[in-house]
């Protein structure tokens, strides 16, 4: 449903950008996707829209920019209230728990993925990151059991805020599984998250957003080499 002019400055490879695309799709919001170069040679449009962080994603709604993916998806939920149920749980405590885990994922869990992706071979840094990643996964497996209350998603019978906060990283998780020939979300260790990942990826609003692993692999070969050459991951 149209409600003003909506543009998203993003990138198909960015999980944070994917996060916003997923919520726009779930809420059936029409928008123009503007692919940005997120790593170098950033556009004037992006620098003007997000002068503080100079990062995607930026949602531009009626010419007003909103930055930071979790802030953006909350904004979409606040504005398009008529386009389906809220992505946040209706109970204040459940809402707090969803927000807590979303912050945990961004602050503690995702940085491990980044280290794993950029590490060469099985060095100590990578081993430590894998350990932290798995610790986080065990916490999230437990959180899923509590939040989902026996249903398919963290949000219960429908995809919600925490599903999106975590699920946007599935593309990168699959990329690492492919690159390193390992199983990160393993059916035996994380049976609930394993099933959740399948249900989540099968949703019509989601599956068009998660990058295909082969396409991501092609991109990653060039990108990871660039980052390593720049020394930014040291």
Q: Please give the residue ranges that form the binding site for a copy of itself (CB under 8 A).
A: 52, 61, 64, 66-68, 70-72, 74-75, 78-79, 92-93, 95-97, 99-100, 103-104, 139
Q: Coil, strand, or helix at residue 60?
A: strand
Q: Rounded distance, CA 164 to CA 177, Å?
A: 20
DSSP secondary structure string for all residues of 85-119: S-SS-SSHHHHHHHHHHHHHIIIIIHHHHHHHHH-
- Dihedral, 73, 74, 76, 79 alpha carbons, nearest 10: 180
Nearest CB to a copy of itself, comparing residues 71 and 128? 71
With vertex at residue 141, the alpha carbon angle to CA 139 and CA 142, rounded to the nearest 5 degrees, is 65
Phi then psi for residue 9, to 5 deg, are -85, 115
C-beta of 208: minimal distance to a copy of itself in Å?
Answer: 25
Nearest CB to a copy of itself, comparing residues 7 and 213? 7
Q: Rounded distance, CA 116 to CA 98, Å?
A: 26
C-beta of 61: minimal distance to a copy of itself in Å?
Answer: 8
Nearest CB to a copy of itself, comparing residues 99 and 178? 99
Nearest CB to a copy of itself, comparing residues 64 and 234? 64
> CB of 75 within 8 A of CB of 68?
no
C-beta of 93: minimal distance to a copy of itself in Å?
Answer: 6
C-beta of 155: minimal distance to a copy of itself in Å?
Answer: 17
C-beta of 175: minimal distance to a copy of itself in Å?
Answer: 26
Nearest CB to a copy of itself, comparing residues 31 and 174? 31
């Amino acid at each position: 449903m149209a409600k003003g002019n909506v543009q998203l400055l993003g990138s198909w490879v960015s999980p944070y950008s994917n996060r916003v695309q997923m919520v726009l799709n779930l809420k059936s919001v029409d928008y123009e996707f503007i692919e940005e170069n997120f790593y170098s040679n950033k556009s004037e449009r992006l620098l003007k829209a997000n002068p503080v962080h100079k990062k995607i994603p930026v949602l531009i709604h009626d010419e007003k920019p909103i930055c930071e993916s979790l802030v953006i998806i909350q904004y979409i939920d606040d504005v398009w209230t008529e386009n389906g149920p809220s992505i946040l749980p209706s109970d204040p405590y459940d809402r707090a728990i969803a927000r807590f885990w979303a912050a945990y994922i961004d602050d503690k869990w995702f940085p491990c993925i980044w280290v794993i992706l950029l590490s060469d071979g099985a060095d100590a840094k990578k081993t430590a990151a894998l350990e932290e990643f798995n610790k986080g996964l065990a916490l999230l497996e437990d959180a899923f059991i509590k939040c989902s209350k026996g249903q398919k998603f963290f949000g219960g019978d429908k995809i919600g805020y925490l599903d999106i906060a975590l699920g946007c990283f599935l593309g990168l998780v699959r990329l690492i599984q492919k690159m390193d020939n390992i199983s990160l979300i393993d059916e035996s260790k994380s049976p609930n998250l394993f099933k959740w990942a399948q249900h989540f990826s099968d949703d019509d609003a989601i599956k068009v957003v998660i990058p295909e692993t082969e396409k991501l692999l092609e991109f990653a070969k060039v990108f990871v080499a660039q980052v390593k050459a720049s020394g930014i991951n040291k």
